[in-house]
């Protein structure tokens, strides 16, 4: 068992506290929060709460510092903790820029301490189902993948709406959905085009649309929206032989594949301006429908891997180079939006 101190006992810090309590590989030592009200709440909850970051980092029993503060201070706390001899898990987004991330990686290399990020959505069942469909070949050659998360409440009214704290939906949700697809699709990205939304917030993005084109011409499209009163499907994936669609995080959806290309007697559908066979739905005898694979992932595997990586039993799953690639994709997206242009990249 490794001992963990959670720094930042807010929404996600509390989630980690509860989750560590159920873990078979890590144990909660205590928390540190800069806000005395959070310290008091922790103590009322029977949790050891340190009075300063130094007091927490000087606790020789601590093996891992888990950082769940707003995004702007991940770097300074991570680098400081590694220099004090602690292994570090940062919440996502790891930090705000690739330059900052380089400093964090350098601190890990200098100190020999593990440094990784809680990219927990690699264990989401909807993502793992899509990855399984992608890898199974059932759709034939895949040429388009669309990943969306939609809400209708605007950007949250906390630090997420402020630039100085590293707010904005690209850093909040974009980092997850880009990481997922980069872990699924092999090969390099050659083009990036992004447009950011400012519907409820001008300071940071409250959503975006992003297209990444891979070197084999596979197109991937990402959308985070916070002004979507009707949600589009969470996933939509097209191959030359079929299409998969997952409606939401619960994995409701279907896979429809062609069974018979020589379809006879297509019944046209009526459109406003006449009949069309091109857009007519296929008849049942020319297609086959498959269920979405049902996955039951265990997100505790994240901490299990961290502990084994500290003990040098297995490599860390969420690596520095993966983190850097996602960060560079996000930077390219911001640059594409700023210049209103498609960027040629080699990522
Ligand atoms: P929050 O505002 O609820 O909590 C942040 C806490 O950090 C607050 O209690 C605040 O007082 C404390 N804090 C601020 N600066 C500090 C400092 N310098 N030292 C110590 N404590 C400090 O925010 P949240 O929603 O819990 O988000 C925290 C982090 O978790 C963010 O990086 C966010 O992106 C991440 N997060 C990840 C997921 C996920 O699925 N992986 C989900 C939600 C949030």
Is residue 123 included in any domain, yes or no?
no
Nearest CA to ligand 1 atom 8: 10
Is residue 284 situated within a structural domain? no
CA angle 97, 102, 107 (to 5 degrees): 130
Same domain, 34 and 111: yes
CA 339 to chain centre: 25
Contacts of 303 (CB under 8 A, 6+ apart): 20, 23, 25, 26
What CATH number should be reported for the domain holding residue 20?
3.40.50.720
What is the structure's pLDDT at 265?
84
Please tell me whether residues 168 and 245 are part of one structural domain. Answer: yes
- Same domain for 40 and 59? yes
Q: Is the backbone peptide bond immediately before 93 cis, with ω within 30 degrees of 0?
A: yes
317 falls within a domain:
no
- Considering the domain boundaries, does residue 263 fall inside one? no
Whether 112 and 137 share a structural domain: no
Lookup result for tokens 């739905």 = 281
Could you give the number of structural domains in the chain? 2
Same domain for 246 and 164, yes or no, is yes
- CATH for 204: 3.30.360.10
* Best probe residue, ligand 1, of 5, 10, 52 (max atoms within 8 Å of C-beta): 10
Q: State whether 55 and 100 are in the same domain.
A: yes
Last-in-domain residue among 94, 118, 142: 118
Q: Which parts of the chain have pLDDT scores under 50?
A: none
Residue 316 lies in a domain: no
pLDDT of 203-234, one tens digit each?
Answer: 999 999 999 999 999 999 999 999 999 999 99
Atom of ligand 1 nearest to the CA of 158: 2
Asked if residue 144 and residue 93 are part of one domain, the reply reads no
Residues 100 and 195 in one domain: no
Token code pair at residue 217: 């011409």
Domain endpoint, select from 95, 118, 141: 118
Are residues 199 and 339 both part of a single domain?
yes
**Residue 157: CB within 6 Å of ligand 1?**
no
Residue with the smallest CA separation from ligand 1 atom 17 is 34
- Which pLDDT does position 241 carry in this prediction? 97
Asked if 132 and 94 sit in the same domain, the reply is no
Residue 176 lies in a domain: yes
Domain boundary pick from 118, 153, 171: 118
Q: Residue 174 sits in which domain range?
A: 128-252+292-298+328-344
Which of these, 24, 52, 28, 27, lies nearest to 39 by C-alpha position? 52
225 shares its domain with 340: yes
Residue 242 located in a structural domain = yes
The confidence score (pLDDT) of residue 125 equals 97
Residue 69 lies in a domain: yes
Which H, E and C letters describe the chain, residue by residue?
CEEEEEECCCHHHHHHHHHHHCCCCEEEEEEECCCHHHHHHHHHCCCCECCCHHHHHCCCCCCEEEECCCHHHHHHHHHHHHHCCCEEEEECCCCCCHHHHHHHHHHHHHHCCCEEEECHHHHCHHHHHHHHHHHHCCCCCEEEEEEEEECCCCCCCCHHHCHHHCCCHHHHHHHHHHHHHHHHCCCCEEEEEEEEECCCCCCCCCEEEEEEEECCCCEEEEEEECCCCCCCCCEEEEECCEEEEECCCCCCEEEEEECCCCCCCCCCEEECCEEECCCCCCCHHHEEEECCCCCCCCCCHHHHHHHHHHCCCCCCCCCHHHHHHHHHHHHHHHHHHHHCCCEECCC
* Cα of 81 from ligand 1 centre, angstroms: 17
**Cα(313)–Cα(31) distance, integer angstroms:** 28
**Pocket of ligand 1, candidates 16, 70, 168: which has the most ligand atoms within 8 Å of its Cβ, to mutate?**
70
Length in residues, the chain? 347
Centre of ligand 1 from the C-alpha of residue 100, in Å: 18
- Note whether 155 and 93 are same-domain residues: no
């Amino acid at each position: 068992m490794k001992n963990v101190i959670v720094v930042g006992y807010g929404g996600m810090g509390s989630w980690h506290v509860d989750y560590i309590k159920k873990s078979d590989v890590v144990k909660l030592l205590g928390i540190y929060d800069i806000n005395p009200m959070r310290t008091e709440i922790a103590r009322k909850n029977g949790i050891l709460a340190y009075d300063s970051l130094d007091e927490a980092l000087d606790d020789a029993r601590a093996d891992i510092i888990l950082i769940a503060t707003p995004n702007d201070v991940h770097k300074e706390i991570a680098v400081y903790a590694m220099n004090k001899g602690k292994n570090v898990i940062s919440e996502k987004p790891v930090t705000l820029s690739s330059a900052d991330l380089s400093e964090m990686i350098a601190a890990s290399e200098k100190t020999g301490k593990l440094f990784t990020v809680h990219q927990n959505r690699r264990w989401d069942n909807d993502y793992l189902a899509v990855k399984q469909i992608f890898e199974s070949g059932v759709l034939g050659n895949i040429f388009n993948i669309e990943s969306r998360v939609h809400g209708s409440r605007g950007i949250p009214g906390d630090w997420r709406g402020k630039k100085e704290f590293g707010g904005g939906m690209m850093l909040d949700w974009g980092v997850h959905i880009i990481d997922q697809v980069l872990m699924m699709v092999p090969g390099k990205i050659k083009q990036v085009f992004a447009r950011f939304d400012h519907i409820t917030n001008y300071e940071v993005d409250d959503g975006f649309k992003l297209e990444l084109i891979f070197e084999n011409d596979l197109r991937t499209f990402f959308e985070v929206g916070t002004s979507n009163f009707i949600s589009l499907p969470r996933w939509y994936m097209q191959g030359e032989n079929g299409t998969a669609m997952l409606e939401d995080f619960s994995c409701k959806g279907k896979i429809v594949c062609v069974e018979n290309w020589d379809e006879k007697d297509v019944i046209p559908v009526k459109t406003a301006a006449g009949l069309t066979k091109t857009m007519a739905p296929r008849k049942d005898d020319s297609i086959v429908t498959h269920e979405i694979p049902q996955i039951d992932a265990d997100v505790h595997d994240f901490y299990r891997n961290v502990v084994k990586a500290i003990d040098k039993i297995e490599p860390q799953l969420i690596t520095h180079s993966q983190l850097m690639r996602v960060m560079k994709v996000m930077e390219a997206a911001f640059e594409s939006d700023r210049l209103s242009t498609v960027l040629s990249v080699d990522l």
